[in-house]
Structure 1
Amino acid sequence: MSREAHQGKNQLRVGRLVKAHGLKGALKLELYTDAPERRFVPGAEFTLQVPEASPWHGKTVVVREYRVMNGNPVVFFEDVADRDAAESLVRAILWLDHETDEPEENAWFDHQLVGLDVVRDDAVVGRVIRVDHLPAQDLLIVKAGEREVMVPFVEAIVPSVDLSAGRLVVTPPAGLFEDLEDADDAPVDAADVDD
Protein backbone atom coordinates (compact mmCIF):
# COMPACT_ATOMS: atom_id res chain seq x y z
CA MET A 1 0.00 0.00 0.00
CA SER A 2 1.38 3.41 -0.88
CA ARG A 3 1.18 6.87 0.64
CA GLU A 4 0.19 9.52 -1.87
CA ALA A 5 -0.05 13.26 -2.04
CA HIS A 6 -1.99 14.92 -4.82
CA GLN A 7 -1.20 18.22 -6.42
CA GLY A 8 -3.96 20.66 -7.06
CA LYS A 9 -7.27 20.61 -5.27
CA ASN A 10 -8.79 18.00 -7.58
CA GLN A 11 -5.89 16.09 -9.12
CA LEU A 12 -4.90 12.51 -8.24
CA ARG A 13 -1.55 11.10 -9.36
CA VAL A 14 -2.41 7.54 -10.36
CA GLY A 15 0.53 6.18 -12.32
CA ARG A 16 3.68 6.56 -14.34
CA LEU A 17 4.27 5.10 -17.81
CA VAL A 18 7.49 3.12 -17.54
CA LYS A 19 7.96 1.17 -20.78
CA ALA A 20 6.41 0.53 -24.18
CA HIS A 21 4.97 -2.99 -24.36
CA GLY A 22 4.59 -4.79 -27.67
CA LEU A 23 3.90 -3.21 -31.05
CA LYS A 24 0.31 -1.98 -30.64
CA GLY A 25 0.84 1.06 -28.40
CA ALA A 26 0.59 -0.60 -24.99
CA LEU A 27 2.50 0.83 -22.03
CA LYS A 28 3.54 -0.78 -18.75
CA LEU A 29 2.44 1.18 -15.69
CA GLU A 30 3.91 1.89 -12.30
CA LEU A 31 0.76 2.31 -10.23
CA TYR A 32 0.32 5.03 -7.59
CA THR A 33 -3.23 3.95 -6.83
CA ASP A 34 -4.64 1.11 -4.79
CA ALA A 35 -7.65 0.86 -7.14
CA PRO A 36 -6.37 0.63 -10.73
CA GLU A 37 -9.49 -1.21 -11.91
CA ARG A 38 -11.52 1.84 -10.81
CA ARG A 39 -9.13 4.47 -12.23
CA PHE A 40 -8.18 2.91 -15.58
CA VAL A 41 -11.63 2.23 -17.03
CA PRO A 42 -12.23 2.74 -20.76
CA GLY A 43 -12.90 6.42 -21.37
CA ALA A 44 -10.98 7.65 -18.30
CA GLU A 45 -9.00 10.78 -19.20
CA PHE A 46 -5.62 11.65 -17.69
CA THR A 47 -3.59 14.84 -17.74
CA LEU A 48 0.05 14.19 -18.59
CA GLN A 49 2.99 15.47 -16.57
CA VAL A 50 5.79 15.62 -19.14
CA PRO A 51 8.66 18.02 -19.89
CA GLU A 52 7.67 21.21 -21.76
CA ALA A 53 9.67 20.03 -24.78
CA SER A 54 7.54 16.87 -25.12
CA PRO A 55 4.99 16.77 -27.96
CA TRP A 56 2.54 15.57 -25.25
CA HIS A 57 2.96 18.69 -23.06
CA GLY A 58 -0.42 20.19 -22.20
CA LYS A 59 -2.31 17.20 -23.61
CA THR A 60 -4.43 14.44 -22.17
CA VAL A 61 -4.82 10.74 -22.97
CA VAL A 62 -7.94 8.57 -22.83
CA VAL A 63 -7.90 4.92 -21.76
CA ARG A 64 -8.95 2.45 -24.43
CA GLU A 65 -8.12 -0.68 -22.41
CA TYR A 66 -6.44 -1.71 -19.15
CA ARG A 67 -5.27 -5.20 -18.30
CA VAL A 68 -2.68 -7.16 -16.36
CA MET A 69 -0.24 -9.07 -18.56
CA ASN A 70 2.32 -11.43 -17.00
CA GLY A 71 1.70 -9.78 -13.64
CA ASN A 72 2.30 -6.25 -14.99
CA PRO A 73 -0.37 -3.54 -15.34
CA VAL A 74 -0.62 -2.45 -18.98
CA VAL A 75 -2.68 0.35 -20.49
CA PHE A 76 -3.73 1.19 -24.06
CA PHE A 77 -4.74 4.78 -24.93
CA GLU A 78 -6.83 6.13 -27.76
CA ASP A 79 -4.66 7.67 -30.51
CA VAL A 80 -1.59 5.69 -29.37
CA ALA A 81 -1.60 2.95 -31.98
CA ASP A 82 2.02 1.78 -32.26
CA ARG A 83 5.26 1.32 -30.37
CA ASP A 84 6.73 4.65 -31.55
CA ALA A 85 3.78 6.60 -30.14
CA ALA A 86 4.00 4.60 -26.89
CA GLU A 87 7.76 5.28 -26.61
CA SER A 88 7.06 9.02 -26.78
CA LEU A 89 4.97 8.70 -23.57
CA VAL A 90 7.50 6.76 -21.48
CA ARG A 91 8.16 8.44 -18.08
CA ALA A 92 4.96 10.52 -18.27
CA ILE A 93 3.08 10.79 -14.97
CA LEU A 94 -0.70 10.40 -15.14
CA TRP A 95 -3.00 12.76 -13.21
CA LEU A 96 -6.73 12.24 -12.95
CA ASP A 97 -9.24 15.02 -12.32
CA HIS A 98 -11.10 13.98 -9.20
CA GLU A 99 -14.59 15.17 -8.34
CA THR A 100 -14.44 14.88 -4.58
CA ASP A 101 -12.14 16.13 -1.87
CA GLU A 102 -11.78 12.59 -0.56
CA PRO A 103 -9.03 10.65 -2.31
CA GLU A 104 -8.73 6.92 -1.81
CA GLU A 105 -7.38 5.31 1.35
CA ASN A 106 -3.80 6.33 2.26
CA ALA A 107 -3.92 9.30 -0.11
CA TRP A 108 -4.22 13.03 0.53
CA PHE A 109 -4.29 16.21 -1.50
CA ASP A 110 -1.35 18.61 -1.15
CA HIS A 111 -3.59 21.31 0.32
CA GLN A 112 -4.64 18.88 3.08
CA LEU A 113 -1.02 18.18 4.08
CA VAL A 114 0.44 21.68 3.88
CA GLY A 115 0.23 23.34 7.28
CA LEU A 116 0.03 20.11 9.32
CA ASP A 117 2.20 19.92 12.44
CA VAL A 118 4.88 17.24 12.24
CA VAL A 119 5.05 15.26 15.49
CA ARG A 120 7.88 13.00 16.65
CA ASP A 121 7.77 11.29 20.04
CA ASP A 122 4.77 13.46 21.08
CA ALA A 123 6.66 16.71 20.34
CA VAL A 124 6.05 19.04 17.40
CA VAL A 125 9.29 19.16 15.37
CA GLY A 126 8.07 21.21 12.42
CA ARG A 127 5.30 22.02 9.97
CA VAL A 128 4.68 20.81 6.39
CA ILE A 129 5.26 23.75 4.02
CA ARG A 130 5.01 21.96 0.66
CA VAL A 131 4.89 18.61 -1.11
CA ASP A 132 7.33 17.74 -3.90
CA HIS A 133 6.20 15.07 -6.36
CA LEU A 134 9.09 12.97 -7.62
CA PRO A 135 8.82 9.92 -9.86
CA ALA A 136 9.89 7.47 -7.15
CA GLN A 137 7.92 8.96 -4.24
CA ASP A 138 6.53 12.15 -2.78
CA LEU A 139 8.56 14.27 -0.36
CA LEU A 140 7.09 16.35 2.43
CA ILE A 141 9.09 19.54 2.88
CA VAL A 142 9.03 20.32 6.60
CA LYS A 143 10.09 23.64 8.14
CA ALA A 144 11.95 22.61 11.31
CA GLY A 145 13.34 25.71 13.00
CA GLU A 146 15.51 27.46 10.41
CA ARG A 147 15.93 24.32 8.26
CA GLU A 148 13.83 22.69 5.59
CA VAL A 149 13.82 18.91 5.98
CA MET A 150 12.86 16.56 3.12
CA VAL A 151 10.79 13.71 4.56
CA PRO A 152 10.00 10.75 2.27
CA PHE A 153 6.22 10.34 2.31
CA VAL A 154 6.25 6.59 2.94
CA GLU A 155 4.39 4.67 5.63
CA ALA A 156 7.60 3.53 7.36
CA ILE A 157 8.52 7.18 8.08
CA VAL A 158 5.04 8.79 8.19
CA PRO A 159 2.88 6.11 9.82
CA SER A 160 -0.03 8.38 10.75
CA VAL A 161 -1.82 11.34 9.14
CA ASP A 162 -4.63 12.88 11.20
CA LEU A 163 -6.27 15.71 9.28
CA SER A 164 -8.85 16.42 11.98
CA ALA A 165 -6.09 16.89 14.59
CA GLY A 166 -3.97 18.91 12.14
CA ARG A 167 -0.92 16.70 12.49
CA LEU A 168 1.07 13.83 11.11
CA VAL A 169 3.39 11.55 13.03
CA VAL A 170 6.92 10.81 11.84
CA THR A 171 9.32 8.05 12.84
CA PRO A 172 12.38 9.23 10.91
CA PRO A 173 15.79 7.60 10.81
CA ALA A 174 18.49 9.17 12.97
CA GLY A 175 19.91 12.32 11.45
CA LEU A 176 16.84 13.43 9.52
CA PHE A 177 15.82 16.12 12.03
CA GLU A 178 19.05 16.43 14.02
CA ASP A 179 22.74 16.56 13.28
CA LEU A 180 24.59 13.35 14.05
CA GLU A 181 27.93 13.36 15.87
CA ASP A 182 30.89 12.59 13.64
CA ALA A 183 32.55 9.30 14.52
CA ASP A 184 35.77 11.29 15.20
CA ASP A 185 33.93 13.54 17.69
CA ALA A 186 32.15 10.76 19.54
CA PRO A 187 33.20 10.26 23.17
CA VAL A 188 35.61 7.39 23.69
CA ASP A 189 34.69 4.71 26.20
CA ALA A 190 37.68 3.92 28.45
CA ALA A 191 36.95 0.19 28.08
CA ASP A 192 37.60 0.53 24.32
CA VAL A 193 41.14 1.88 24.77
CA ASP A 194 43.96 -0.66 24.79
CA ASP A 195 46.83 -0.13 27.30
Structure 2
Amino acid sequence: MSDAPQLLVARIGKPHGLRGEVTVQTHTDDPERRFVAGTVFATQAVAGSGVPRALTLRTARQHRAIWLLGFDEVPDRTGAESLRGTRLLVDVAEVTEPADDDGYYEDELVGLSVVTVDGDAVGEVTGLETGTAQDLLVVRLSSGAEALVPFVTAIVPEVDVEGGRVVIDPPTGLLELNEGG
Protein backbone atom coordinates (compact mmCIF):
# COMPACT_ATOMS: atom_id res chain seq x y z
CA MET A 1 0.00 0.00 0.00
CA SER A 2 1.07 3.60 -0.37
CA ASP A 3 2.34 6.16 2.11
CA ALA A 4 -0.84 8.22 1.57
CA PRO A 5 -2.91 9.14 4.62
CA GLN A 6 -5.16 6.24 5.62
CA LEU A 7 -8.51 5.85 7.33
CA LEU A 8 -9.63 3.05 9.62
CA VAL A 9 -12.43 0.97 8.08
CA ALA A 10 -12.66 -1.91 10.58
CA ARG A 11 -10.96 -3.67 13.48
CA ILE A 12 -10.81 -7.46 13.36
CA GLY A 13 -12.29 -9.44 16.23
CA LYS A 14 -12.55 -13.17 16.79
CA PRO A 15 -12.62 -15.95 14.18
CA HIS A 16 -15.97 -17.31 12.99
CA GLY A 17 -16.25 -20.86 11.69
CA LEU A 18 -13.52 -22.97 10.13
CA ARG A 19 -12.95 -21.24 6.78
CA GLY A 20 -10.98 -18.22 7.98
CA GLU A 21 -13.80 -15.72 8.45
CA VAL A 22 -13.49 -13.10 11.20
CA THR A 23 -15.89 -10.77 12.94
CA VAL A 24 -15.16 -7.06 12.56
CA GLN A 25 -16.03 -3.89 14.40
CA THR A 26 -16.88 -1.52 11.56
CA HIS A 27 -15.64 2.06 11.47
CA THR A 28 -17.45 3.08 8.30
CA ASP A 29 -20.96 4.35 7.68
CA ASP A 30 -21.18 2.38 4.43
CA PRO A 31 -19.95 -1.20 4.99
CA GLU A 32 -21.84 -2.52 1.94
CA ARG A 33 -19.72 -0.26 -0.24
CA ARG A 34 -16.45 -0.82 1.63
CA PHE A 35 -16.67 -4.61 2.00
CA VAL A 36 -16.61 -5.71 -1.64
CA ALA A 37 -14.81 -8.89 -2.76
CA GLY A 38 -11.44 -8.01 -4.28
CA THR A 39 -10.89 -4.91 -2.13
CA VAL A 40 -7.35 -4.74 -0.79
CA PHE A 41 -6.96 -3.33 2.73
CA ALA A 42 -3.72 -2.16 4.27
CA THR A 43 -3.25 -3.67 7.72
CA GLN A 44 -1.97 -2.36 11.00
CA ALA A 45 -1.11 -5.10 13.48
CA VAL A 46 1.16 -5.84 16.41
CA ALA A 47 4.80 -6.11 15.29
CA GLY A 48 5.87 -9.72 14.88
CA SER A 49 2.30 -11.03 14.61
CA GLY A 50 2.88 -12.33 11.09
CA VAL A 51 -0.14 -10.46 9.72
CA PRO A 52 0.36 -9.57 6.04
CA ARG A 53 0.79 -5.85 5.23
CA ALA A 54 -2.30 -6.11 3.02
CA LEU A 55 -5.35 -8.39 2.94
CA THR A 56 -7.57 -9.05 -0.08
CA LEU A 57 -11.25 -9.42 0.75
CA ARG A 58 -12.65 -12.78 -0.42
CA THR A 59 -16.09 -12.72 1.24
CA ALA A 60 -18.26 -10.31 3.22
CA ARG A 61 -21.59 -11.06 4.83
CA GLN A 62 -23.67 -10.18 7.83
CA HIS A 63 -24.60 -12.71 10.50
CA ARG A 64 -26.89 -11.50 13.30
CA ALA A 65 -25.98 -7.86 12.56
CA ILE A 66 -22.23 -8.59 12.74
CA TRP A 67 -20.04 -8.34 9.67
CA LEU A 68 -18.02 -11.45 8.83
CA LEU A 69 -15.09 -11.05 6.46
CA GLY A 70 -12.90 -13.66 4.76
CA PHE A 71 -9.56 -12.93 3.09
CA ASP A 72 -7.66 -14.65 0.27
CA GLU A 73 -4.55 -14.81 2.44
CA VAL A 74 -6.32 -16.56 5.36
CA PRO A 75 -7.75 -19.99 4.48
CA ASP A 76 -8.59 -21.34 7.95
CA ARG A 77 -9.51 -20.64 11.56
CA THR A 78 -5.88 -20.81 12.75
CA GLY A 79 -4.88 -18.03 10.37
CA ALA A 80 -7.98 -16.04 11.31
CA GLU A 81 -7.04 -16.20 15.00
CA SER A 82 -3.74 -14.45 14.23
CA LEU A 83 -5.64 -11.47 12.77
CA ARG A 84 -7.38 -10.55 16.05
CA GLY A 85 -6.95 -6.82 16.76
CA THR A 86 -5.69 -6.00 13.26
CA ARG A 87 -6.89 -2.70 11.85
CA LEU A 88 -8.06 -2.58 8.20
CA LEU A 89 -7.22 0.68 6.44
CA VAL A 90 -7.90 2.38 3.10
CA ASP A 91 -6.15 5.32 1.48
CA VAL A 92 -7.98 8.60 2.04
CA ALA A 93 -7.92 9.10 -1.75
CA GLU A 94 -10.09 5.97 -2.15
CA VAL A 95 -12.81 7.45 0.04
CA THR A 96 -15.16 9.19 -2.35
CA GLU A 97 -18.20 9.60 -0.13
CA PRO A 98 -19.35 13.17 0.47
CA ALA A 99 -18.20 14.89 3.64
CA ASP A 100 -20.61 14.40 6.52
CA ASP A 101 -20.60 17.35 8.87
CA ASP A 102 -21.88 15.15 11.70
CA GLY A 103 -19.40 12.29 11.23
CA TYR A 104 -15.77 11.85 12.17
CA TYR A 105 -13.19 9.17 11.57
CA GLU A 106 -11.29 7.80 14.56
CA ASP A 107 -8.03 8.96 13.00
CA GLU A 108 -9.32 12.56 12.99
CA LEU A 109 -10.23 12.43 16.69
CA VAL A 110 -7.27 10.64 18.26
CA GLY A 111 -4.85 13.14 19.77
CA LEU A 112 -7.37 15.97 20.15
CA SER A 113 -7.34 17.65 23.55
CA VAL A 114 -10.55 17.43 25.56
CA VAL A 115 -11.86 20.44 27.50
CA THR A 116 -15.11 21.20 29.27
CA VAL A 117 -17.49 23.93 28.10
CA ASP A 118 -15.98 26.03 30.92
CA GLY A 119 -12.50 25.62 29.42
CA ASP A 120 -11.11 23.18 32.01
CA ALA A 121 -8.59 20.67 30.61
CA VAL A 122 -9.89 17.08 30.84
CA GLY A 123 -7.45 14.97 28.83
CA GLU A 124 -6.94 13.61 25.32
CA VAL A 125 -8.95 11.48 22.89
CA THR A 126 -7.24 8.07 22.50
CA GLY A 127 -9.90 6.21 20.52
CA LEU A 128 -13.45 5.83 19.29
CA GLU A 129 -15.62 2.82 20.08
CA THR A 130 -18.46 2.46 17.62
CA GLY A 131 -21.74 1.07 18.85
CA THR A 132 -25.15 0.30 17.46
CA ALA A 133 -26.93 2.90 19.60
CA GLN A 134 -24.15 5.46 19.94
CA ASP A 135 -20.40 5.84 19.66
CA LEU A 136 -18.11 6.44 22.65
CA LEU A 137 -15.05 8.67 22.76
CA VAL A 138 -12.20 7.02 24.64
CA VAL A 139 -10.52 9.75 26.67
CA ARG A 140 -7.30 9.49 28.70
CA LEU A 141 -7.98 11.83 31.61
CA SER A 142 -5.29 14.10 33.04
CA SER A 143 -5.09 11.70 36.01
CA GLY A 144 -4.15 8.85 33.65
CA ALA A 145 -7.51 7.07 34.03
CA GLU A 146 -9.59 6.26 30.95
CA ALA A 147 -13.14 7.53 30.45
CA LEU A 148 -15.79 6.56 27.91
CA VAL A 149 -17.76 9.62 26.87
CA PRO A 150 -20.99 9.15 24.87
CA PHE A 151 -20.38 10.83 21.52
CA VAL A 152 -23.71 12.64 21.35
CA THR A 153 -24.33 16.35 20.80
CA ALA A 154 -25.73 16.88 24.31
CA ILE A 155 -22.41 15.75 25.85
CA VAL A 156 -19.99 16.62 23.02
CA PRO A 157 -21.33 19.92 21.66
CA GLU A 158 -18.19 20.83 19.71
CA VAL A 159 -15.51 19.00 17.76
CA ASP A 160 -12.84 21.29 16.32
CA VAL A 161 -10.47 19.03 14.38
CA GLU A 162 -8.53 21.95 12.90
CA GLY A 163 -8.27 23.61 16.34
CA GLY A 164 -7.16 20.33 17.90
CA ARG A 165 -9.86 20.04 20.55
CA VAL A 166 -13.12 18.46 21.61
CA VAL A 167 -15.44 20.33 23.97
CA ILE A 168 -17.53 18.23 26.34
CA ASP A 169 -20.36 19.01 28.74
CA PRO A 170 -20.34 15.84 30.86
CA PRO A 171 -23.20 15.11 33.24
CA THR A 172 -22.26 15.16 36.92
CA GLY A 173 -20.29 12.06 37.84
CA LEU A 174 -19.47 10.84 34.32
CA LEU A 175 -15.74 11.49 34.56
CA GLU A 176 -15.51 10.73 38.28
CA LEU A 177 -16.71 7.16 37.63
CA ASN A 178 -13.30 6.52 36.10
CA GLU A 179 -11.24 8.17 38.83
CA GLY A 180 -11.98 5.83 41.72
CA GLY A 181 -10.92 2.52 40.14
| TM-score, length of structure 2 as denominator length | 0.67
8 A Cα contact 1:61 1:78, kept in partner: yes
CA distance in 1, matches of 2:159, 2:18: 43
The answer on 1:43 being equivalent to 2:38 is yes
Q: CA deviation at 1:46?
A: 2.1
1:107 aligned residue: 104
The answer on 1:139 being equivalent to 2:138 is yes
The answer on 1:161 being equivalent to 2:155 is no
Identical-residue share of aligned pairs (%): 28
Decide whether aligned partners of structure 1 residues 133 and 119 sit closer, same or farther in structure 2, where only a CA change above 3 A counts. Answer: closer
Out of 10, 15, 25, which is 2:20 matched to? 25
CA distance in 1, matches of 2:128, 2:84: 15
Q: CA deviation at 1:64?
A: 1.7
8 A Cα contact 1:12 1:103, kept in partner: no
Structure whose alpha-carbon radius of gyration is higher: 1
Which segment is superposed worse, 165-174 or 35-44?
165-174
1:74 aligned residue: 68
2:175 aligned residue: 176
CA distance in 1, matches of 2:18, 2:57: 17
CA distance in 1, matches of 2:18, 2:151: 38
Q: CA deviation at 1:50?
A: 2.0
Q: How big is each residue's C-alpha offset from its partner over 1:119-157, in whole Å with a ceiling of 9 and x where there is no partner? A: 42xx212387x54248786534576xxx67755354154
Q: What one-letter code is carried by the residue in structure 2 that aligns with 1:139?
A: V
**RMSD of aligned alpha carbons:** 3.8
| TM-score, length of structure 1 as denominator length | 0.63
Q: What one-letter code is carried by the residue in structure 2 that aligns with 1:94?
A: L
Q: What one-letter code is carried by the residue in structure 2 that aligns with 1:126?
A: A
CA distance in 1, matches of 2:4, 2:137: 16
Q: How big is each residue's C-alpha offset from its partner over 1:41-89, in whole Å with a ceiling of 9 and x where there is no partner? A: 22322222322120116x1112122111233211111121122211221
Q: What one-letter code is carried by the residue in structure 1 that aligns with 2:151?
A: E
**Structure 1: tracts of 5 or more residues without a match:** 1-7, 183-195
CA distance in 2, matches of 1:141, 1:78: 37
Decide whether aligned partners of structure 1 residues 103 and 91 sit closer, same or farther in structure 2, where only a CA change above 3 A counts. Answer: farther
Decide whether aligned partners of structure 1 residues 168 and 138 sit closer, same or farther in structure 2, where only a CA change above 3 A counts. Answer: closer
Out of 95, 98, 101, which is 2:92 matched to? 98
CA distance in 2, matches of 1:119, 1:89: 38
Out of 7, 22, 34, which is 1:12 matched to? 7
